[in-house]
Structure 1
Amino acid sequence: MAKVNVYSLKGEVTDEIELPEIFEEAYRPDVIKRAVISSQTARIQPWGANPMAGKRTTAESFGSGRGVAMVPRVKGSSKAGFVPQAIGGRKAHPPRVNTIYHEKVNKKERVLAIRSAIAATADKDLVAERGHKVEDLEQVPFIVDDELETIKTAKETREIFKDLGIMDDILRAKKGRKIKSGKGKLRGRKYRTPKGPLVVVGNDRGIKLGARNHAGVEVVEVENINAELLAPGTHAGRLTIYTKSAIEKLADLFQQNRS
């Protein structure tokens, strides 16, 4: 596998590192799309209560003429059960699932999608096709020293992003922020912001605090990376900044069983 440069926070080449074999995975937009849609539909899938919730009890009513309410009582005691007004009883109108939205994918398929999406971050043509500003970048994927993980303020990260040459893409995301149409404006999601660079770190030692105020920028630890972060809207090739430790950990993550 080819070697690529590792840059300091000032944008200077300090080291070289060999990319793991995951970056040689074939580009599979069909599999990536399925994995992203699965992730999206999982969030909107409504849930329902178990039909037997609150009904697994020995409770029966004493009947009339006992001088007590005729609610079911747990056998051997006077404790009420089963009915909605009893502690531990059933719900009067539990939520029910009428439509299944979640599109499930197999584990191997999801792993393949992540591997393919990671490999797509090393294709400069795909990254540019997504609209990212990569003209001033000497290479993709862009790999930075682990010191980036410790930066905790937006002021510091702004200067670092300028030195690294990715500030143009952040400004693109900021200028592309638009007010949505429809009722979503009334529900806490007024603006739509284009996706900017994704920062993948080995360990978050403060960088999430430092980068969260920059438009379109997201930070994720390498163990939590997924297809939707790498390919927002099912379109692979997101501009991705890796720290050196994240690249080293990628070699042992998302191993594909090809048997």
Structure 2
Amino acid sequence: MAKIKKIYDLAGKPVGKIRLPKIFDTPLRPDVIKRAVLAIQSHSFQPQGRNPLAGKRTTAESRGVGLGISRMPRTKGPGGRAALAPGTVGGRATHPPKSEKKIAKRIPKKEKRLALFSSIAATASKKIVAGRGHSVEDVLQIPPIVTDKLEGLKRTKEVEEFLINLGILSDIYRVKESRKVRAGKGKMRGRRTKQAVGPVIVVAKDRGIVKAARNIPGVDVMTVDNLNAEVLAPGTHPGRLTIWTASAVEKLDELYSGGEKP
């Protein structure tokens, strides 16, 4: 069933209405969304492996039995230090990681498309968005749809004023307060801090909004052409608070006409 939503201007006042495409009627499939997100994330992993000769650069051999010592491979000479075998100093690893291992996961195109449709539909459910942890008490409507003037904003201050007018500033505060130092060794590996995910702004075309909003904590800006399940369902959890421009909704219908059918 098609839904009709209001279109708001940058001041938060309704200026028109728009009919949501059938894609927003797609049933929620968290299982498919999870598979798609994990597949996307797997393509960013860096292959790792060990040198095939690591721990094997020695002429150590076992001296056999009957000598009162273990049958471990030992180096030549009077010292006879154990080498080569797993568990010895400088010895090889038992089952080292292989660099040729295939770590990138793939899923069928139809399944990937269904995951995108389902994650898009989840952005229109206030229950799902609130259940994900977003602060939506003051948001004018779910999903928020605004005029195309949003695409042309070029200053961060203008974007912040827009978020205040739309009732989304409380979600930005939630992201700021969630920022904390990560536990564990990730602090030393370029992942010192962690924070919650905020709203995403989906536009038909970037005319300055990407640079204007990139310094606001938790806020991402995406063009409708580059949408995927990971953007709309970070961490495999659907229901990210999504702000759509009117032209992005119209382009969404053009790109993915057919709605429920992947």
Structure-1-length-normalised TM-score:
0.78
SS of 1:252's equivalent in the other structure is helix
Are 2:123 and 2:143, in contact at CA under 8 Å, matched by a contact in 1? yes
Post-superposition shift, 1:175?
A: 0.7
Q: Distance in 2 between matches of 1:241 and 1:153?
A: 18
After superposition, give the CA deviation of every residue in 1:215-243 in whole Å (9 maximum; x if it has no partner). Answer: 11000000000000000000000000000
Are 1:111 and 1:254, in contact at CA under 8 Å, matched by a contact in 2? no
Aligned to 1:106: 108
Q: How many residues align?
A: 213
Q: Distance in 1 between matches of 2:187 and 2:239?
A: 29
2:120 maps to 1:118: yes
SS of 1:215's equivalent in the other structure is coil
% identical equivalent positions: 50
Structure-2-length-normalised TM-score:
0.77
Post-superposition shift, 1:172?
A: 0.4
Post-superposition shift, 1:139?
A: 1.6
In the TM superposition, structure 1's runs of 4+ consecutive aligned residues that sit over 6 Å from their partners are none
Aligned to 2:130: 128
Q: Distance in 2 between matches of 1:47 and 1:15?
A: 54
Q: Distance in 2 between matches of 1:178 and 1:162?
A: 25
RMSD of equivalent CA atoms: 1.9
Are 2:5 and 2:20, in contact at CA under 8 Å, matched by a contact in 1? yes
Q: Distance in 1 between matches of 2:128 and 2:3?
A: 19
Are 1:198 and 1:217, in contact at CA under 8 Å, matched by a contact in 2? yes
| Residue segments in structure 1 that go unaligned for 5+ positions in a row | 49-95
Aligned to 1:72: none
| Residue segments in structure 2 that go unaligned for 5+ positions in a row | 50-97
Q: Distance in 2 between matches of 1:193 and 1:214?
A: 13
Letter in 2 for 1:4: K
SS of 1:159's equivalent in the other structure is helix
After superposition, give the CA deviation of every residue in 1:33-68 in whole Å (9 maximum; x if it has no partner). Answer: 0000000111105289xxxxxxxxxxxxxxxxxxxx
Post-superposition shift, 1:252?
A: 1.6
SS of 1:251's equivalent in the other structure is helix
Aligned to 1:82: none
